[in-house]
Structure 1
Amino acid sequence: MTQPLAADDRNRLARESAYRRVSWPRNLAPSSVSYASEGHALLIGSEVEVRRAAVTLEDHGLASVTLLLSEAASAIDDDEADELLRRTRALPSHALNRGEAEALTLEGYLGHFRVGLARDGEWLDLARALAGRDHFDLILDLGHQPRLDLELPPPGYLASRGAPLEASALADWAALVGEFDKPRYFEIDADLCAHDAQGKRGCSRCLEVCPADAIASHPGRIAARVEIDPFRCHGVGSCSSACPTGAIRYRLPEDRQLQHTLAAWLEHYRQAGGRDPVVRFAAAAELADEARVAGQLIDLPLEELGSAGHDQWLAALAFGAAEVRIQYLAEMPERLRSFLDDELALAHGLLEALGLSPERIRAIDADPATRDAPPRLPALTPLTKAPEAPSKRERLNRVLDHLAAQGGGDGGRHALPRGAAYGGIRVDSQRCTLCLACVSTCPTPALAAGQEQPALSLREADCVQCGLCEATCPEQAIALEPGFLAGPERSERRPLHEAAPFHCIGCGKAFASAATIEAIKAKLAAHPYFSGEAAQRLEMCEDCRVRDVWRSLARDPEAQLKV
């Protein structure tokens, strides 16, 4: 008689069946960026440290070494000092005085570092002055305070922070000579970006979470734009997870590919007899050397842990995971850890608002006992297929709607961590003139104008709390209302303000609200173009206004000079 399988063995077979039927998505030909380094290095620090390092690097095959003495020399034996000077005397060097050290600027990446002195609006290029080159390829910063004090500095930059460097680290740095490619981890759709409109600042979530400071806001002719420097980007992925509109998309894999794969894995796991799966989000490098894991554990091997945030974790629950576990790395940038902590707090807040236990999503370490523990709660009724919606926000909304149907939320508004991309807006009807400047700047379909009469409406499910509507409202009639509305009205379009239409005195067409016309008349009362009988033009639609101007010119050609 055949003995029934133990639960763990049954789950393990179900998991392996799911893995066989659907493979992990891979970008077979990812776009890439290339670095070219000839090995021209700049060493920065005290004279003793840089000359010692120069001697150590003599046999590492660098094309050239330039010394920049930026700090006071430390104590050294006279014989060693003489020997260091003898062996490095031929190297180009420059000692900075205190003022020059404070004015020293450094920017760039492997194969293209620019170093110079910025004083009184002038720039002295030290690569050109000291080495006769346009740039340095490598920077070794031996100062106590790094010139690029970043959690993830650009490739080609190595800082000691005043501590001795390990020989292996120094050797790896010196070996960065040649041509190197790395994936272009992201792509940006500027049309979806909520960063700026008409010079008014909105969302800046991506800028706040990048541990490499590879993201910057650049002024544009109409509005500032977010740009990511692909040469400084380390592909951490937190920017794409933090972006509420999907303007920044991580490409290894894309979030939609990840969701389709996960939904398929969980569906096949259930069909093969698996029960109460636990989905683990972990860095692929952490999973490579693992031994046998519990049968119910379904792993998502992420290129970078930050590339999946609360939207993906919640999707895993909606697709049928009993629990989601995010395996933190033992060592990771503090800004990434803080971001993941914030995402975890946000996920917990949303689950509570939906009437579900926050225990369903938790952070773990690599301890096998925690990793393999059975889930504390059974799986929810699953969505068997990932949402097909094209936008990140709409896919998330469908996940939230499904989870809401599983929970027992009270339908009210719930507070979430500061800065969360959930909430609505309040409109002061006494101030609002329905000029609809807010609608034109809203980067999502959240705000809309009326069809039959002047009106402003909101679909809160689309609002990402960027604040552009609040910033651009000329009457200061809009205020953000943060928090998650757990009721079905979150997905319904509701009116915020309506007004009677103003009809053109020429053709009778409704073209604005009465409040808007009154506000315009008050502001332009002293304008010569609308003086006298011409003031009636303010009560005309655009077409009638143009016709009235032409009629006045026909009656009095000299009126053209007045206009």
Structure 2
Amino acid sequence: MNIRFTEHPPTDPLQEGRDAQARSAAILAADAFPPYEATLTVDYRSAGRTLVVGSAEQALPWADRLAASLPVTVLLLDQQDTLPSRPYPVHVARAVALAGWLGAFEARWQAPGQPAGQGRYDLVLDLAPSRLIPSHQRPHGYYAPGYDDAARLEAVEAMREMVGEFEKPKYFAYKERSCAHGRNGQKGCSACIEICSAQAIAGDGDRIKVNPYLCAGCGACSTVCPTGAISYAYPPAALTGRRMQAALRAFREAGGAEPVFLLHDPEQGAALLGQLGEAVPGRIIPLALQHTASTGIDVWLAAVAYGAAGVAVLMTGHEAPQYVAALDRQLEIAQAVLDGLGYQGPHVQLLRVGAAEELALALRHAPRGQVPAEPAVFHLANDKRNTLDYALAHLHLHAPRRPDQVALPAGAPFGALEVDRKACSLCMSCVGACPASALQDGQGAPLLRFIEQNCVQCGLCASTCPEDAITLVPRLSFQETRKGAVVLNESQPFHCIRCDKPFGTLQMVENMLGRLAAHPAFSGHLDRLRMCGDCRVIDMMEPAGEMRVTALKRD
């Protein structure tokens, strides 16, 4: 286990009884909401065409079983002097590449002395020594049961039922305009790509693309997305928030104290809880999620604002390693905010347990964090940044300490920027790169403005800046100035020495003079760098030594 324990006073038996009754009321209130029905679905079609891959000893007996009800093709990975006689196609493969999902698998293979082979299949039984699709979350229709005969039999029986038309929810929503993945060819945030255990997300230029057929519905991408460009839609955060509010209201009204939400998955986590039975402390309110990686700082901080003394996330060891690492970072950010505001904690825990007795011990040490004097009444928004604004405003309003700002760990989705004014030429490249409208130009004036509330610390501005003049400063500001535009840098406009039109800043022109003085196009003609683009072209095209008439600037 990796749990941050805090010593608590002995449990009052009377209060424990009240808490147990209050928990029952809370569970009823949370479960009163009808099951969420997805409005968008992803459809699969399978005719049962099955590919079995493995050695002859491993693959052929199971292929024989499947061939009784499904059209089968076998790829043998060991060398065969003569191909086994079977009523279905059998090939020898030295190397196999496989990709796809239920109804749309594509396989390519090479065999000694044979032309490359390929085929399309609806189902795959992978009995190779190493899985052909290594992603933690396996595609629908792909079965890799390992060497256990019981698991193989279970897979074969499941495959026989995978013929027909199937559907699943579309688990995500994506708003391209607020995505911080990239701008103008510069790489920014790739958090969703890195965390996806199904390899369903990939870069697509300055944006991302999500393959809905591979998406497994974990919601981890929405948890780590700093802008909320990708959000979880099954169920949406707003419904999770309403369930939490209803549960806490019922818990308080029934006399419960210091409630803690235990977020768990509906399978392994629910099974562990079932083994504990009545041993679960009364103040623990279980809340099943489609996946425990689908919530992060927005939901956790909102829960504390609603009056939850803590949030415990149950991880049973079946989760992808990157999920645990991401939730650890989310925990660090959330606790830094609460600690900075003076709320005694801890408030959030990751419970990494694999046995019922470990879970029982962890729940006895569940958080008893300090909460606001008044529970918040706002509702979770499907827009992550809006939820965070509401939660943080309420927590700050009722905080034991009310600092102007709280320092946050690197990678937090809040912060400011430091600009080296001597290096910054006010070229405004950073403004064009910012996906959150945190950086703005001066609308004709040579100045750079910044709205801290909008900044998601994606780093696109810093990577785009040709002068390396921008540094990220992760922090959470509670000053009123965070909502308005403040000037990070400004300069006097520079006027063309020929037509007097303003075309840049004094700093920009000085930088060009320093860098381009030795360039063949400007050597001996440095005045061209002090001209606007139009006048520079005219000056370069005029014959040398020809008399010209130039408009004189008046003082």
1:169 aligns with 2:169: no
Change (3 A) 1:533 1:485: closer
Partner residue of 1:77? none
Deviates more, 1:485-494 or 1:316-325: 485-494
Secondary structure in 2 aligned to 1:140? Answer: strand
- CA deviation vs aligned residue, 1:241-291 (integer Å, no higher than 9, x gap): 111111111112212332344235434543554433222222244448844
The total of aligned residue pairs comes to 511
1:335 aligns with 2:322: yes
Secondary structure in 2 aligned to 1:443? Answer: coil
> Pairwise mapping of residues 108-127 of structure 1 onto structure 2 (< 5 A)?
108-117=100-109, 124-127=116-119
Corresponding residue to 1:39 among 45, 48, 56: 48
Partner residue of 1:484? 475
- CA deviation vs aligned residue, 1:197-252 (integer Å, no higher than 9, x gap): 00110000001111111111123xxx3x2111111111011011111111111112
Partner residue of 2:457? 465
1:355 aligns with 2:335: no
State the alpha-carbon separation in 1 of the partners of residues 495 and 256 from structure 2. 66
Partner residue of 1:66? 73
CA drift at 1:443: 1.0
Partner residue of 1:559? none
CA drift at 1:475: 2.2
Secondary structure in 2 aligned to 1:154? Answer: coil
- CA deviation vs aligned residue, 1:327-355 (integer Å, no higher than 9, x gap): 22353333323333333333333333333
Corresponding residue to 1:159 among 144, 148, 167: 144
Partner residue of 1:227? 209
CA drift at 1:518: 4.9
Contact 1:309–1:343 (8 Å) recurs in 2: yes
Change (3 A) 1:374 1:247: closer
CA drift at 1:487: 5.6
Change (3 A) 1:332 1:342: same
1:301 aligns with 2:296: no
Corresponding residue to 2:234 among 249, 252, 264: 252
Deviates more, 1:199-208 or 1:44-53: 44-53
Letter in 2 for 1:332: E
Letter in 2 for 1:31: L
CA drift at 1:176: 1.5
> Pairwise mapping of residues 15-414 of structure 1 onto structure 2 (< 5 A)?
16=25, 19-20=28-29, 23-24=32-33, 26-59=35-68, 61-62=69-70, 64-72=71-79, 85=84, 88-97=85-94, 101=95, 104-117=96-109, 124-127=116-119, 135-161=120-146, 164=149, 165-219=151-205, 223=206, 225-267=207-249, 269-271=251-253, 273-285=255-267, 286-287=269-270, 290=274, 291=277, 294-364=281-351, 365=353, 367-368=359-360, 370-371=362-363, 376-386=368-378, 391-405=383-397, 406-408=399-401, 414=407
Structure 2 unaligned residues grouped into runs of 5+: 1-12, 543-555
Change (3 A) 1:14 1:145: closer
1:435 aligns with 2:427: yes
State the alpha-carbon separation in 2 of the partners of residues 356 and 28 from structure 1. 38
Change (3 A) 1:23 1:513: farther
State the alpha-carbon separation in 1 of the partners of residues 432 and 237 from structure 2. 28
CA drift at 1:477: 1.7
Contact 1:47–1:71 (8 Å) recurs in 2: yes
Deviates more, 1:330-339 or 1:204-213: 330-339
Change (3 A) 1:181 1:390: closer
State the alpha-carbon separation in 2 of the partners of residues 422 and 277 from structure 1. 28
CA drift at 1:517: 4.8
Contact 1:218–1:227 (8 Å) recurs in 2: yes
CA drift at 1:467: 1.3
Letter in 1 for 2:482: S
Secondary structure in 2 aligned to 1:455? Answer: strand
Letter in 1 for 2:64: V
Change (3 A) 1:475 1:337: closer
Corresponding residue to 2:417 among 422, 425, 432: 425
Letter in 1 for 2:89: P
Letter in 2 for 1:393: R
- CA deviation vs aligned residue, 1:487-531 (integer Å, no higher than 9, x gap): 6378355432122234678998866433235556788897989x9
Partner residue of 1:556? none
State the alpha-carbon separation in 1 of the partners of residues 438 and 110 from structure 2. 46
TM-score normalised to structure 2 length: 0.79
State the alpha-carbon separation in 1 of the partners of residues 198 and 318 from structure 2. 16
Percent of aligned pairs with the same amino acid? 33
Letter in 2 for 1:455: L
- CA deviation vs aligned residue, 1:164-185 (integer Å, no higher than 9, x gap): 4441233113321211111110
- CA deviation vs aligned residue, 1:15-42 (integer Å, no higher than 9, x gap): 6278449943654342111111111111
